[in-house]
């Protein structure tokens, strides 16, 4: 079955530290990839997405992610986190050629940034 | 202001009762989705709909039912057959099923007493 793994369930960083959150998926075909963020008390919203082209994609608020097809990974990065980045982050995969049209979400990573 | 509304924000029901969660969107999106969010389990797909009068089961459809009579509305009924209904329910929509980001509502927290 298709699945998405986010190995870091809880991450605690100090402000200005660099961030990398892992995301791996299990599907061999073409995929669309997403990172969503849920700030405390707010709606889930899109951080960035990858459909095709340059595997390094930039999103809002200084976030970026790199698609490495050979590793089935789409890791999220930010060079310097801020207290306001405290949130839960979800990786999602849309297996384009599977015919199911589902978006499969990872279990999420809770990030806490200490001021 | 376009978006997705879910009502109510908090819902309490007695065990054995069916309950319907509302989801409305004014984004003119064709596709709509229902997810269940539980701590440590991420979002799990309950049902999705590509177009009016059509919907498909997701990964955890047992104990739930939906309808899609209007493009802008996709209500979810949690039936008494759902063994563990207490959860946070999220509705989402997208322009289509592929190559589109999903837009999410604020969610409904259902507690079954």
B101 chain-A contacts, CB cut-off 8 A:
34, 46, 49
Whole-number pLDDT of residue B4: 95
Closest CA to A104 of A18, A44, A32: A32
Among partner residues A49, A105, A106, which is closest to B101 by beta-carbon distance? Answer: A49
For residue A1, is pLDDT > 80? no
Whole-number pLDDT of residue A38: 94
| Cis amide linkage into residue B35, ω under 30° from 0 | no
**Opening angle at CA A71, ends A68 and A72, nearest 5:** 80
Q: What are the φ/ψ torsions at residue A71 (nearest 5 degrees)?
A: -105, 0
Q: Residue B86 has what DSSP assignment?
A: -
Q: Report the 10 Å Cβ neighbour count for A18.
A: 10
* CA separation for the pair A97, A95 (Å, rounded): 6
Closest CA to B96 of B25, B23, B30: B30
For residue range A70-106, what is the model confidence (pLDDT) as tens digits? 999 999 999 999 999 999 999 999 888 766 677 899 9
Across the interface, whether the CB atoms of A44 and B104 are under 8 A apart is answered yes
Under a CB-based contact definition with an 8 Å cutoff, are residues B68 and B61 in contact?
no
Whole-number pLDDT of residue A7: 86
Pairing label, strands B108-112, B10-13: parallel
Question: B35 at the A interface (CB within 8 A)?
Answer: yes
Most A CBs within 10 A among B46, B49, B90, B101, hence the mutation to make, goes to B101
For residue range A52-71, what is the model confidence (pLDDT) as tens digits? 999 999 999 999 999 999 99
For residue range A35-53, what is the model confidence (pLDDT) as tens digits? 999 999 899 999 999 999 9
Whole-number pLDDT of residue B39: 85
Whole-number pLDDT of residue A99: 66
Residue B53: is it exposed, middle or buried by C-beta count within 10 angstroms (0-12/13-18/19+)?
exposed
Across chain A, what does the average pLDDT equal? 93
B50 chain-A contacts, CB cut-off 8 A:
101
Low-confidence ranges of chain B (pLDDT < 70): 1-2
For the record, the structure tokens of A15 come out as 């402000």
A94 chain-B contacts, CB cut-off 8 A:
98
Across the interface, whether the CB atoms of A107 and B41 are under 8 A apart is answered yes
Among partner residues A49, A51, A105, which is closest to B43 by beta-carbon distance? Answer: A105
Whole-number pLDDT of residue B1: 60
């Amino acid at each position: 079955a298709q699945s998405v793994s986010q190995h870091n369930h809880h991450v605690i960083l100090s402000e200005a530290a660099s961030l990398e959150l892992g995301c791996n998926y299990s599907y061999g075909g073409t995929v669309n990839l997403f990172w969503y963020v849920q700030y405390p008390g707010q709606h889930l919203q899109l951080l960035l997405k990858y459909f095709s082209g340059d595997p390094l994609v930039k999103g809002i608020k200084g976030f970026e992610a790199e698609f490495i097809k050979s590793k089935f990974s789409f890791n999220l990065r930010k060079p310097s986190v801020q207290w306001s980045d405290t949130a839960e982050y979800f990786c999602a995969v849309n297996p384009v050629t599977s015919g199911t049209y589902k978006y499969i979400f990872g279990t999420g990573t809770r990030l806490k940034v200490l001021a | 202001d376009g978006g997705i509304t879910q009502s109510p924000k908090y819902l309490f029901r007695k065990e054995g009762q069916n309950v319907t969660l509302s989801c409305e969107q004014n984004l003119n999106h064709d596709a709509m989705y229902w997810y269940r969010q539980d701590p440590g389990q991420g979002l799990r797909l309950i049902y999705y709909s590509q177009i009016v009068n059509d919907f498909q089961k997701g990964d955890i459809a047992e104990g739930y039912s939906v309808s899609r009579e209007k493009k802008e509305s996709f209500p979810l009924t949690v039936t008494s057959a759902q063994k563990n209904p207490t959860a946070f329910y999220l509705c989402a929509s997208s322009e289509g099923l592929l190559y589109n980001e999903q837009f999410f509502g604020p969610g409904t927290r259902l507690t079954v007493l």
